[in-house]
Amino acid sequence: MTHTRYAFIKAQWHADIVDRALEGFLQLIPAEQVDVFDVPGAFEMPLLAQELAKTGKYAAVACAAFVVDGGIYRHDFVAQAVVDGLMRAGMDTGVPVLSVSLTPHQYQETEHHNAIYRAHFVEKGREAANAALMITKTRKTVLAA
């Protein structure tokens, strides 16, 4: 069975930036094929991604977050835990889990930086949609063989 639905999880930390990834994703995958879920921050994404993947409803699950350096080095641990968790969710369920999670080294909460990252997240959302479509097509071919 080929799924044509996709899940998109987005962290609400820096939502004004992260939400742009969904905009980019929806430029390539119709909104009626995408279920959108909000979580408080990046750390909460892997568990929900795993739960959504286990439902069997989705061809892929995309996850978007913006993990910034707050000056206490915590962002490194969070970013690594999130990426590891997303990979594990995909491996454990057999459903592709895609990351649109960025951890910039030089982010400052200025309008200039916010504008740069808003635009960057749109592009990253498109890239995630391309990846979701490509892996869905490839898996369909492999499973049909």
Which pLDDT belongs to residue 143?
80
- Which residue in the block uniquely carries the two structure tokens 């959302």? 125
Q: Does residue 69 register a pLDDT over 50?
A: yes
Catalytic residue IDs:
74
* 96-105 confidence digits (pLDDT tens): 999 998 766 6
3-state helix, strand, coil split of the chain in percent (to 5) is 55, 15, 25
Query: Which residue has better confidence, 115 or 60?
Result: 60
The structure's pTM equals: 0.91
Q: Does residue 72 register a pLDDT over 70?
A: no
pLDDT band at 140 (very low <50, low <70, confident <90, very high): confident
Tokens of 111: 């309008």
Residue 97 CB partners (closer than 8 Å, separation 6+): 49, 50, 53, 60, 61, 62, 63, 86, 87, 89, 90
Q: What does the alpha-carbon distance between residue 98 and residue 96 come to, in Å, rounded to a whole number?
A: 6
Q: What does the alpha-carbon distance between residue 103 and residue 123 come to, in Å, rounded to a whole number?
A: 15
Q: Does residue 37 register a pLDDT over 60?
A: yes
Q: What does the alpha-carbon distance between residue 122 and residue 27 come to, in Å, rounded to a whole number?
A: 9
Mean predicted lDDT score pLDDT of the chain: 88
**Average pLDDT of the residues in 120-143:** 92
